[in-house]
Amino acid sequence: MTDSATPSDFIAACHTVIGAAHVLTDAHDTAPYLTDWRHRYTGAACAVLKPATTDEVAQLVRIALAHRIALVPQGGNTGLAGGATPDATGRQAVLSLGRLNRVRALDIHNNTITVEAGVVLAEVQARARDADRLFPLSLAAEGSCTIGGNLATNAGGTGVLRYGNARELCLGLEVVTPQGEIWDGLRGLRKDNTGYDLRDLYIGAEGTLGIITAAVMKLHPLPAARVTALAALASPHAALDFLALAQRCAGSLLTGFELMSDFCLQLVSNHFPQLRYPFDERHAQIVLLELSDAESDEHARALFERMMETALDEGLLEDAVVAESLAQSRAFWDLREHIPLAQAEEGLNVKHDIAVPISRIGTFIDETDAAIAAAVPGARMVTFGHLGDGNLHYNVQAPDDGDAKAFLAQYQTALNRIVYESVHRHHGTISAEHGLGQLKVDEAARYKSPTELALMRAVKNALDPLGLMNPGKVLR
C-alpha cells in the first residue's frame, strides 16, 4: 500500500467500480473464499471482489496497484495446491472471477468456443455438446472448476492421452496485466508464429503474471460412441504392457487409460457402498479404458473385444469387463472419480501429483513403495492416476489404527523427500497437473536448476515488478 492509503480507501474505491454488493468484507460472506478445497490452508483478505466484466477487472487491478494491495485470483476454488487462498496478513484481496460467466462465441467452422474465465467447465462441455462438438477437458471437479482456473493451472484430467491438457486446448487468451491493461489475444488461430508465445506464458502461471478473463478453446468432433472397460492386472508393469498393446490396437481411438490400485477401490467401496468392487475376486491393479469411436458403438465394442482377447492370450490380463450400457460406463467412471473423495472421507493423507516418463512408472512404484514401507511403518499407499500420461496420484494415507494427525506431523516431510527424490531420480516432475500453489513452492525451488529459477524470476519481475499478482505462489 502507499503510505497514506488503507484497505478502507481501497475498498471504497472498489465500491465505485462494482458496487458494494460485489465487494465482500463481512467474515460470514468471505469465509468460503478463504479456505481451500482440501481445508489445508485458511487465509484472510481485506475484501473479496466480484467483478462481472473484463473492464471491471482491469479497473480493480489498477486500484489495487495504486493501493499496493496484492490480488489472489480465484475461480471455482477447487485447486489442490493452495494457489487460490490468500496469506494470513489480511492485506491481500481475493479476485473472484465467477461472475465473468458468459459464453461469448461459438464458431462451428473454426471448431472453437470463446468463454469468459468464470464459466464452469461442465457448462463449456454442455455448450459444446449442444453444438454437436466435444470439449474434451474433463476432471472430477468439472461441476465447480472454471476455465480460468483450468488454464491458470494447466489442468489435465482424464482426456489428456488423446486431446492434451488445458494448454493444448487453448488457442487464445484475454488477460488483464498487473498494470491493469487488457491484452486481447483472443485469436482462434492454429498457426501463429509472430513472436514470443504470451498465451503459453500465462497458461500454468497460477495467476502470478496476470488475470485471465477469457479464452478461445478448441472443440473436437463429438464421438459417435464411447465405450468403457475395466481390466484387472497383476502389477503396474503389466498395465504398462497393456497400455502399449491398447495403443497399438486402438491408436487415437484410445481416449482414457486410468490406473487404480486395489486399495483405492477398497476405499471407494468402504465409503460409498453403492460403488461396489467391480470383479468377483480382488486384483492388484485395475485399469479403466475408454475408446471414443467416430463410427459406431458396435465398431468400438468389436475393437475392444479383439484387444482384450489379445491381452488375455498374451497373459497380460487377469480379467476384464466391457460396459454394457451408458449407466454401466458411468458407474466405472464413478469408481475412478470417487477415489479422491473416498480418501478425504478416510482422513488425513499426503498427496503427490507426480509424473515420470511412462516407461518408468512400474519401476518408480516398486522402488518408492519399498522405500516408504521401510521408512514409514503402517503407511497405506493410494496409487492411481492417468497412466497413459505418466501421471500418478501417488498418495499416502495414515495407518487406519492410529492418530492420523500425529502420523502426518511425524512423517510428512520424510514421505515427501522419499517420493520427490525418487521422482527426481526418474527424471520426473513433482507437479504434473495441480500446479505449485503455495503447497509445493519450496519443493520446486529445490528441484529446479538455478538457471531455470532465474529465468522464471526474470519473467515474473518483468511482468509484475511490484509482486502484486498472487504473491507467494509458484515462486518466492
- The yes or no reply on residue 141 touching ligand FAD (CB under 6 A) is yes
Q: Is 71 helix (H, G, I), strand (E, B) or coil?
A: strand
CB of 137 to ligand FAD, least distance (A): 9
Local structure of residue 22 (DSSP, 8 states): G
- The yes or no reply on residue 473 touching ligand FAD (CB under 6 A) is yes
Q: Please select the residue that binds ligand FAD; options are 51, 86, 148, 180, rule is CB under 6 A.
A: 148
d(CA 127, CA 387): 29
Q: Is 331 helix (H, G, I), strand (E, B) or coil?
A: helix
CB of 153 to ligand FAD, least distance (A): 4
Residue nearer to ligand FAD on the CB measure, 155 or 317 = 155
- The yes or no reply on residue 351 touching ligand FAD (CB under 6 A) is no
- Which residues, 6+ apart, have CB-to-CB distance to 432 below 8 Å? 156, 353, 354, 355, 389, 390, 391, 392
Binding segment (CB under 6 A) for ligand FAD, from list 42-50, 154-162, 252-260, 446-454 = 154-162
Residue nearer to ligand FAD on the CB measure, 85 or 112 = 85
Cα angle 333-267-341, degrees, rounded to a multiple of 5: 60
Nearest to 22 by CA among 4, 54, 3, 47: 47
Binding segment (CB under 6 A) for ligand FAD, from list 45-53, 278-286, 354-362, 429-437 = 429-437
For the chain, give the number of residues: 476
Q: Please select the residue that binds ligand FAD; options are 22, 24, 30, 37, rule is CB under 6 A.
A: 37
CB of 150 to ligand FAD, least distance (A): 4
CB of 421 to ligand FAD, least distance (A): 24
- The yes or no reply on residue 238 touching ligand FAD (CB under 6 A) is no
Q: Please select the residue that binds ligand FAD; options are 84, 203, 365, 468, rule is CB under 6 A.
A: 84
- The yes or no reply on residue 156 touching ligand FAD (CB under 6 A) is yes
CB of 127 to ligand FAD, least distance (A): 17
Residue nearer to ligand FAD on the CB measure, 421 or 467 = 467
Binding characters for ligand FAD, 53-82, by CB under 6 A (x = yes): -------------------xxxxxxxxx--
CB of 174 to ligand FAD, least distance (A): 10
- The yes or no reply on residue 97 touching ligand FAD (CB under 6 A) is yes
CB of 211 to ligand FAD, least distance (A): 5
Q: How far apart are the first and last CA of the chain?
A: 20
- The yes or no reply on residue 439 touching ligand FAD (CB under 6 A) is no
Contact 84, 74 (CB under 8 A): yes
Local structure of residue 272 (DSSP, 8 states): -
What are the beta bridge partners of residue 289? 229, 257
d(CA 338, CA 214): 30
- The yes or no reply on residue 430 touching ligand FAD (CB under 6 A) is no
Binding segment (CB under 6 A) for ligand FAD, from list 60-68, 138-146, 225-233, 286-294 = 138-146
* E strand residue ranges, 295-406: 319-322, 349-350, 353-355, 380-386, 391-397
CB of 87 to ligand FAD, least distance (A): 13
CB of 277 to ligand FAD, least distance (A): 21
Q: Please select the residue that binds ligand FAD; options are 46, 58, 140, 356, rule is CB under 6 A.
A: 140
CB of 59 to ligand FAD, least distance (A): 16
What are the beta bridge partners of residue 81? none
Residue nearer to ligand FAD on the CB measure, 145 or 444 = 145
Q: Please select the residue that binds ligand FAD; options are 203, 212, 303, 463, rule is CB under 6 A.
A: 212
Residue nearer to ligand FAD on the CB measure, 172 or 207 = 207
What are the beta bridge partners of residue 107? 112
- Which residues, 6+ apart, have CB-to-CB distance to 372 below 8 Å? 379, 381, 396, 415, 418, 419
Residue 349, CA distances (Å) to 51, 78, 183, 341, 356 in order: 36, 17, 41, 12, 22
Considering only residues 189 through 208, tell me which ones interact with ligand FAD, judged by CB under 6 A: 206-207
Binding characters for ligand FAD, 387-426, by CB under 6 A (x = yes): ----------------------------------------
* E strand residue ranges, 36-144: 47-49, 70-74, 92-96, 103-107, 112-116, 133-134
What is the per-residue DSSP string for 121-171? Answer: HHHHHHHHHHTTEE---B-TTTTT-BHHHHHHTT--BTTHHHH--TGGGEE
Tell me, rounded to whole angstroms, the distance of Cα 387 from its chain centroid: 15
Residue nearer to ligand FAD on the CB measure, 78 or 111 = 78
Instruction: Look up residue 82 and give its three cell numbers.
Output: 493452495
- The yes or no reply on residue 215 touching ligand FAD (CB under 6 A) is no
Place of cell 489379445: 310
- Where along the sequence are the contacts to ligand FAD (CB under 6 A)? 37, 72-80, 83-84, 97, 117, 139-141, 145-146, 148-150, 152-153, 155-157, 206-207, 211-212, 340, 433-434, 437, 470, 473
